[in-house]
């Protein structure tokens, strides 16, 4: 028991933090150096051409606005706009854009640390390390994909909403709503998150009186959909589809939870009743989503793939027990509860949309919540072990 207590006390020291920070830096930039020197084309994902096309259309619109914005309806315009700014505005190459995305990982870790610090200052360091050592985030930051930008903006939204929860005011609520709008302009998966946030405000009475809660919730909804309306109207006029992105319909038709589950039931459990089969299918998808380690498959290196898979499992083995313990935390801290709501939203939205095809990529949106909740859980485990240790030393007390 003495050795366990010593390990626990050392694990939150600053020297270990600097050690793992250096490890994260070495891994991210070593992988980037390998891609640059060996296989630069690895930064191009099958979905990347959609974003390049969007960036080209934005550039063409700025040069010749009389022809209108010919941006496709698949990708939201946020990430293509960022690509256009760096590639055509600043003259960056694709690899330089990827380098910027890697740097954004560290900024995301800093924001997540601030989120954790707003609840408990002791949670900041470990929360940041979980973000930095996450293999899916590391891998997808090396690609021309939305993940690195989206997770940063989402983390900023959570931090802004935490500040609103600390001191409810219209100014802080409006700023949080604007961050949420930026999120949906990058990835459409958050198109219904505003309703969840509004329900959170009302359910937990964040603003005090019920009338004020209703007013704050309505303001959030109006700002969110009011600023989404221009892009939705543009899509409707040009493509006849009023949604932020048409990719949702494509995904639901191919991979929605109930569609995939119905197809797989014939060979997984053909005789099982629906009330047993669908909970099993949902549980299976949850386990797959939370325990898939991720890898660096796009770089086409067996060494990097094996290394990243081992690292991914090690990171999951670390945060998963703490995360499960953190979900059982009985405290009534609004900022902590909000992280759980955010996690549940992305959990149900992801499984509902992609069903049995869930991969580690879809866990990235949950990373801020996972990092803070897992850290809280490990501190709870630490407290329980310390109490057990003290009881062993002084059983009479």
**Mean pLDDT per segment of 10 residues, for the chain of length 397 residues?**
43 77 95 93 90 90 76 84 94 96 97 95 94 96 95 98 95 97 94 96 91 96 95 85 72 63 64 76 90 84 91 95 87 89 95 84 96 94 82 68
Length of the chain: 397
Longest Cα–Cα distance of the chain, Å, equals: 84
Separation between Cα atoms, residue 125 and residue 86, nearest integer Å: 31
Separation between Cα atoms, residue 374 and residue 71, nearest integer Å: 40
In angstroms, how far is CA 261 from the centroid of its own chain?
A: 25
Q: Give the residue among 378, 379, 372, 293 at the shortest CA–CA distance from 340.
A: 372
Residue 83: its H or E element: helix 78-84
Q: Give the residue among 110, 119, 111 at the shortest CA–CA distance from 337.
A: 119
DSSP state, residue 1: -
CB 115 within 8 A of CB 372: yes
For the chain, domain boundaries? 2-393
Q: Give the residue among 118, 131, 199 at the shortest CA–CA distance from 371.
A: 131
| pLDDT score recorded for residue 1 | 44
Separation between Cα atoms, residue 105 and residue 367, nearest integer Å: 12
| pLDDT score recorded for residue 383 | 85
SS3 204: coil
The DSSP line for 276-324 is HHHHHHHHHHHHHHHH-----GGG--HHHHHHHHHHHHHHHHHHHHHHH
| pLDDT score recorded for residue 240 | 80
Pair of tokens at residue 101: 């995305």
Predicted TM-score of the model (pTM): 0.92
The phi, psi pair for 119, rounded to 5°, reads -100, -50
Pair of tokens at residue 367: 């990373």
In angstroms, how far is CA 28 from the centroid of its own chain?
A: 18
């Amino acid at each position: 028991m003495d050795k366990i207590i010593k390990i626990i006390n050392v694990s939150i020291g600053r020297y270990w933090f600097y050690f793992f920070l250096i490890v994260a830096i070495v891994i991210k930039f070593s992988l980037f150096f390998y891609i640059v020197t060996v296989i630069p084309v690895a930064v191009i994902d099958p979905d990347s051409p959609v974003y390049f096309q969007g960036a080209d259309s934005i550039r063409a619109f700025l040069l010749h606005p009389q022809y209108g914005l010919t941006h496709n309806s698949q990708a939201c315009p946020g990430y293509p706009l960022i690509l256009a700014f760096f590639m055509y505005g600043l003259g960056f190459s694709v690899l330089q854009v990827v380098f910027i995305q890697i740097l954004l990982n560290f900024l995301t870790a800093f924001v997540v640390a601030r989120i954790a610090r707003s609840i408990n200052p002791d949670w900041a360091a470990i929360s940041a390390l979980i973000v930095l050592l996450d293999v899916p985030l590391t891998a997808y930051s090396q690609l021309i994909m939305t993940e690195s930008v989206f997770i940063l903006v989402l983390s900023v939204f959570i931090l802004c909403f935490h500040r609103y929860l600390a001191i409810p005011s219209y100014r802080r609520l409006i700023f949080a709503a604007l961050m949420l709008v930026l999120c949906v302009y990058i990835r459409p998966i958050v198109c219904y998150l505003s309703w969840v946030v509004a329900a959170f405000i009302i359910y937990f009475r964040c603003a005090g009186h019920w009338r004020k809660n209703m007013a704050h919730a309505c303001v959030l909804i109006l700002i969110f959909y009011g600023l989404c309306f221009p892009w939705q109207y543009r899509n409707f006029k040009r493509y006849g589809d009023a949604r932020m992105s048409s990719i949702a319909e494509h995904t639901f038709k191919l991979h929605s939870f109930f569609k995939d589950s119905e197809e797989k039931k014939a060979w997984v459990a053909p005789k099982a009743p629906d009330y047993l089969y669908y909970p099993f299918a949902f549980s299976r998808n949850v386990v797959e989503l939370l325990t898939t380690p991720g890898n660096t498959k796009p770089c086409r290196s067996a060494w990097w793939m094996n290394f990243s898979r081992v690292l991914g499992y090690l990171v999951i083995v670390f945060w998963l027990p703490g995360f499960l313990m953190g979900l059982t935390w009985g405290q009534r801290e609004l900022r902590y509860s909000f992280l759980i709501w955010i996690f549940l939203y992305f959990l149900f939205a992801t499984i509902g949309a992609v069903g049995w095809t869930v991969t580690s990529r879809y866990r990235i949106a949950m990373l801020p919540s996972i990092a803070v909740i897992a850290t809280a859980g490990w501190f709870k485990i630490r407290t329980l072990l310390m109490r057990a240790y003290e009881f062993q030393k002084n059983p009479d007390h």
